[in-house]
A and B are shown apart, each in its own frame.
Chain A
Amino acid sequence: MRATVLEDKSLARHAGRFVWLSIDTEDEKNAGFLEKYPWEAVPTFEVIDPADGKVAYRWLGSVSTKQLVQRFDEAERAVAKASGDDATGHYDRAVALDAEGKAKESAEAYEQALAKAPKDWQARGRASEGLVFELSQSDQFEACASRAMELEPAMPQGASRANVAATGLDCALHGDEKDGWRAPAIATLEKAVRASLKYEGLNSDDRAGLRSALMDARDEQKDEAGAKAMALDLLAFLEADAKKATPEARAALDGYRVSAAIAAGDPARALAPLTLSEQQLPWDYNPPARLAAIYRELGRYDDALAASSRALEKVYGPRKLTVLDARATIYEKKGDKAGLKKTLEDAIAYGQTLPEPQRSKRMMARLQKRLDDLKS
């Protein structure tokens, strides 16, 4: 989204509506902010009311320029604490409850908004999307899948409808295999996600994300051939998209390129585009880190270590732990115990220098366990 929507010149006229702040989760300067306002995923967008310092509005994930401007309006209403018993009032309450992290209550408010909404209600798509998302966030997977199936067919084709289908599909996959509702829900929602690939107005992020969701769905159902076919479809899409994208926008989809090439059983197919990304974005640690993963898959361990070293020269903050963890795996696969031990020790020592809010307990525990396992 940084490489696309936030660079849209038409946004400049909204400059006076907010004070704009960008927070890099990896930068040590932001430890205080991140302690006060913990984050779950990036990107997260939050609107803070300076009167009380509380988050009045927030959402996760990228949106189009048009949706972003709608969210500016919603955020302003949330700060003004508009309320009422009509659809918009319930909708605003749902948004505020989400900002407080109350997913279950937020879902209930979205239900009330939809129940009171006039037929031509402008926010119906966004409320449907919000409802399904909050049901998923509160682990109400059956309700999430079933509401997605009810709401999705009536929505206009576009990103919100695609989101409802993909979120619903993910909820269905979370169901217990013994539950009778699960299999038909997966079938219906997979079909809906597949259909959404043809919608106009979706950006490349959306289109790659939908294909990736379908690939995961096949993989989750142990359909090896289906997952491979989806991986090849995703690769073909990424290769066609790359021809018209800027270097930044193309590299933004490199993560999909890596997972699709590996899932397709053809990791070498990602080598040329990742090498190009490294040449075009020499300040970015991601391309060499991804190249290291591909070389590792190919069993080219010395090339993998060289690429990992180039990534380590550029990476900073908590992500450095992830790069070191991946480097340790290269040594492990190579059968180099001394290199593995030293990399894990370096990673733990570096992790201990990070400020508390930026030090992932899970990653630190993982690194320590790997080191302990090695010693025992």
Chain B
Amino acid sequence: MFRRYVPFILAAVLTGSASAKMSLPFIENDFEKAMAAAKAQQRPVFVEVWAPW
């Protein structure tokens, strides 16, 4: 029953929903495309690592 407390991870984990309507232009599941865009635009890549749990 016991688990290491990571702030509100469990709740966050459970918010993975395929129906999310994101307000930011996320590239989905294509690291190479994101890195190529980041190099071209000289901007860092912001990555959201999530799971549909």
Residues of B near A79 (CB, < 8 A) are: 44
Measured CA separation A166–B34 after assembly (Å): 36
- Residues of chain B with a CB closer than 8 A to A213's CB: 5
Residues of B with C-beta under 8 A to A17: 43, 46
Expressed in whole angstroms, the minimum distance between the Cβ of A214 and any Cβ of chain B is 11
A253 within 8 A of B: yes
Q: Which one of A41-49, A300-308, A344-352, A366-374 is at the interface? A: A41-49
Q: Are B44 and A47 in contact (CB under 8 A)?
A: yes
- The interface residues of chain B lying within 8 Å CB-to-CB of A129 are 7
State whether B18 touches A283 (Cβ < 8 A): yes
Interface residue? A167 (CB, 8 A): yes
Q: Is the CB of A252 within 8 A of B4?
A: no
CA A18 – CA B17 in complex, angstroms?
A: 23
Q: Are A49 and B47 in contact (CB under 8 A)?
A: no
Given A50-B39, A209-B10, A42 and B45 contact (CB-CB distance below 8 Å): no
CB distance from B18 to the nearest CB of A (A): 6
Q: Which of B22, B25, B45, B47 contacts A7, CB < 8 Å?
A: B22
- What residues of A have a CB within 8 angstroms of the CB of B17 in the complex? 2-3, 248, 251-252, 281, 284
Q: B25 and A15: CB pair below 8 A?
A: yes
Contact between A19 and B52, CB atoms less than 8 A apart: no
Q: Please, which residues of chain B bring their CB within 8 A of the CB of A8?
A: 23
Please determine whether A19 and B43 come into contact, CB atoms closer than 8 angstroms.
yes
A149–B8 alpha-carbon span in the complex (Å): 19
Within 8 A of B (CB), among A15-62: 15-27, 29-30, 32-33, 37, 39, 41-50, 53, 56, 60-62
Chain A residues with Cβ below 8 Å from B44 are 18-19, 47-50, 56, 75-76, 79
Q: Are A21 and B27 in contact (CB under 8 A)?
A: yes
Any B CB within 8 A of the CB of A233: no
Considering the complex, give the chain B residue whose CB is closest to the CB of A45: B48
Judge whether A98 is part of the interface by a CB distance below 8 angstroms: no
Asked if B8 and A205 make an inter-chain contact with CB atoms under 8 angstroms apart, the answer reads yes
* Bound-state Cα–Cα, A21 to B10, Å: 22
Query: How many angstroms between the C-alpha atoms of A41 and B16 in the bound complex?
Result: 13
Contact call B6/A61, Cβ cutoff below 8 A: yes
Residue on A nearest B28 in the bound complex, by CB: A22
Pairs across A and B, CB under 8 Å, 5 listed: A19-B41, A30-B29, A45-B48, A206-B11, A255-B14
Contacts A6-B23, A21-B48, A24-B51 supplied; 17 other A-B pairs, CB < 8 Å: A15-B24, A19-B27, A22-B48, A23-B49, A24-B52, A37-B49, A42-B16, A42-B49, A44-B49, A47-B46, A50-B38, A50-B42, A163-B8, A206-B11, A216-B5, A255-B14, A281-B19
